[in-house]
Structures are given as structure tokens and as C-alpha cells.
């Protein structure tokens, strides 16, 4: 159902279908995370995601997307790369920040999700990997994403999302403004565009059936970015490191369900005092 505001509002049954696509993306990203280690190439990680998506009977949504056609299943962005990094021969090193973004289509419905992680040295506790500053960057980005998700609420204005993200991100970090979240459903990118910062314009009121991908991008330095000559990779201009987290969430009459989180958003929302709301089968 297309609203007058060009937003595709989903029925509960459509949201259930999007949950199935979301779980395929969750499976793919879990498998990639398990394969992150020093020496692994970003192409090897991409192959892992591709295999999971294909064996689930789903289709990688990034492959052949856009112009020039995107060549891979995932975007893998390392260190100063923010988003849209193309997998290739680059071998990961301990201490690298690696951001993996993945989308899949199942039965015509999309899921879209991303995580950032610091590559642990062999045998190292992943939670202790990298520098304090890099761990802070990755964790702050993750928490900013959850704050953006929590701001999705019936009756609230769309710019509550960007406001919640901007309020949470302090001046130690750069908040990238050129890219943002988006509506998602039978296309990966739908109306509305979701800014990661507060604007004067309040935006439409959010209502049941709205499905959004929320995806803040933070940098350790200046947030200005540039696109590399490969036409896709977005990197910081000043060379500072970056992190990116994303989940696809659905607002329905019962509340909020995070479709690409394996637990439906239960833990992430509970940290912020909100009870997640899965739809019963
Ligand atoms: Mg994405
Ligand atoms: Mg997205």
C-alpha cells in the first residue's frame, strides 16, 4: 500500500515476509563475522555472505545495483573507508576496523544490515581487539544506531531519528551527513530518506507499516568524505577511521520489530528501556 507521501506501508503479513529476508541477512553477517581474522581477504568474506544468501534461496541485493553496477554481494569498508567498499584482494590485519554491509531479497522483500568490528589478533579476545579509541568509535556507532531505531515511534516525526542520533554522538566523533537511512520493502531504497542528524524540518509523522533501515556512520575525525576512483568506495577525506552500523526495523500496531537482528531487537531495545514487539506467526 503506497501512502500519499509515497511511503510503502506494509501489512503485518508483509512485515513477516521482510523478517524472513532479515534473518537471511543476519545469517550472512554472522557467517562473515565468524570468518573475520588476520589474513582473510575481503573477497573471501564476500564469498561467505554470497554462499549463505544463495543457499537460503535468496538473492544478494547489492550485486549489480546502481551505476556502475556494483560488483559484489557485500560492501566491506576498512579503516578510513566509511561505506561502499568493494571486496577484493585486501588482506585484513589485526586492529583493522572492518565494516560489512549486506542486503538480501527473499520472496521479493528486502533486508539490509551492517556491522563494524575490529579484527582481533590470532587468539585475542575480540572484545579487547584494537585501540581504546577504535573500540569507542565502533561501540558509539552501534549505540547511535539503537538510539535511532528507538526513535521510530507511531505519531513521532521522522526527524526524531536524526535528532536522537545527533544528540547521542558527542563532539569526539564526526557524524557523516552525505549518506543516511531509508525506507525499505520491495526495493532496497525507498522513501523516505532518513537523515542521521537533526533538521529544522520535522518530517512526516511515522505510522504503522513503516519499515526503515537506520544506519549511522561515524568518523574519528572530520566527517567529510570522498568517493574513490572505483566509483563506489566512500572514504574520509582526512584519513580518519570510520564505523557503520545498520538494521532494518518495522513499526506495526504492536510496536517495533528489528527485522535484521536475530533476536528481533530484544536486547538492543531493552538496553534503552523499550520492549521489542515481534509479530506472531
Ligand atoms: Mg546497508
Ligand atoms: Mg541501507
Report the CATH number that the domain containing residue 27 is assigned in CATH.
Answer: 3.90.230.10
pLDDT digits (tens, 9 = 90+) for 198-223: 999 999 999 999 999 999 999 999 99
> What are the grid coordinates assigned to 121, written together?
589478533
27 found inside a domain: yes
Question: Is residue 278 in some structural domain?
Answer: no
123 CA to centre of ligand 2 in angstroms? 33
pLDDT at 1 exceeding the cut of 90: no
Does residue 3 lie in a domain region? Answer: no
How far is the C-alpha of 111 from the C-alpha of 76, rounded, in Å?
17
Tell me, yes or no, whether 265 lies in a domain: yes
Task: List, for residues 243-262, the tens digit of each pLDDT value.
Answer: 999 999 999 999 999 999 99
Domain-embedded: residue 75: yes
- pTM (2 d.p.): 0.97
In a domain, 71, yes or no: yes
The answer to whether position 90 is within a domain reads yes
In the chain, how many domains are there? 1
How far, in Å, from the CA of 174 to the mean position of ligand 2? 19
Strand locations in the chain, DSSP E?
59-60, 74-78, 81-83, 97-106, 109-118, 174-175, 181-183, 190-194, 211-214, 217-219, 225-227, 234-236, 242-244, 247-252, 255-258
257 has which bridge partners? 250
* Full domain range(s) for residue 254: 12-270
Per 3-state DSSP, the chain is made up of helix, strand and coil in percentages (nearest 5) of 25, 25, 45
> How far is ligand 2, taken at its centre, from the CA of residue 246, in Å?
7
> For position 112, what pLDDT does the model report?
98
Note whether 216 and 173 are within 8 A (CB): no
- Report the C-alpha gap between 242 and 47 in whole angstroms: 23
Distance 22 CA to ligand 1 centre (A): 12
**Ligand found nearest the CA of 179:** 2
Q: Is the pLDDT of residue 94 over 70?
A: yes
Amino acid at each position: 500500500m503506497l501512502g500519499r507521501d509515497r511511503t510503502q506501508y506494509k501489512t503485518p503479513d508483509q512485515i513477516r515476509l521482510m523478517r524472513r529476508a532479515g534473518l537471511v541477512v543476519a545469517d550472512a553477517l554472522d557467517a562473515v563475522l565468524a570468518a573475520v581474522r588476520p589474513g582473510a581477504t575481503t573477497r573471501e568474506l564476500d564469498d561467505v555472505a554470497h554462499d549463505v544468501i544463495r543457499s537460503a534461496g535468496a538473492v544478494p541485493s547489492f550485486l549489480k545495483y546502481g551505476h556502475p553496477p556494483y560488483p559484489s554481494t557485500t560492501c566491506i569498508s576498512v579503516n578510513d573507508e566509511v561505506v561502499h567498499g568493494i571486496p577484493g584482494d585486501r588482506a585484513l590485519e589485526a586492529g583493522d576496523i572492518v565494516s560489512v554491509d549486506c542486503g538480501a531479497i527473499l520472496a521479493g522483500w528486502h533486508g539490509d544490515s551492517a556491522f563494524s568490528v575490529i579484527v582481533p589478533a590470532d587468539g585475542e579476545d575480540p572484545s579487547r581487539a584494537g585501540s581504546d579509541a577504535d573500540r569507542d568509535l565502533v561501540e558509539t556507532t552501534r549505540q547511535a544506531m539503537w538510539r535511532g531505531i528507538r526513535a521510530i515511534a507511531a505519531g513521532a516525526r521522522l526527524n526524531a531519528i536524526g535528532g536522537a542520533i545527533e544528540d547521542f554522538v558527542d563532539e569526539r566523533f564526526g557524524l557523516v551527513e552525505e549518506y543516511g537511512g531509508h525506507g525499505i520493502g520491495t526495493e532496497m531504497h525507498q522513501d523516505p530518506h532518513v537523515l542521521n542528524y537533526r533538521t529544522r524540518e520535522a518530517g512526516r509523522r511515522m505510522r504503522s507499516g513503516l519499515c526503515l533501515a537506520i544506519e549511522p556512520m561515524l568518523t574519528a575525525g572530520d566527517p567529510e568524505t570522498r568517493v574513490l576512483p572505483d566509483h563506489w568506495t566512500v572514504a574520509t577525506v582526512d584519513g580518519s577511521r570510520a564505523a557503520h552500523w545498520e538494521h532494518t526495523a518495522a513499526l506495526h500496531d504492536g510496536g517495533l520489530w528489528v527485522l535484521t537482528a536475530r533476536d528481533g531487537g530484544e536486547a538492543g531495545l531493552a538496553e534503552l528501556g523499550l520492549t521489542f514487539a515481534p509479530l506472531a506467526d
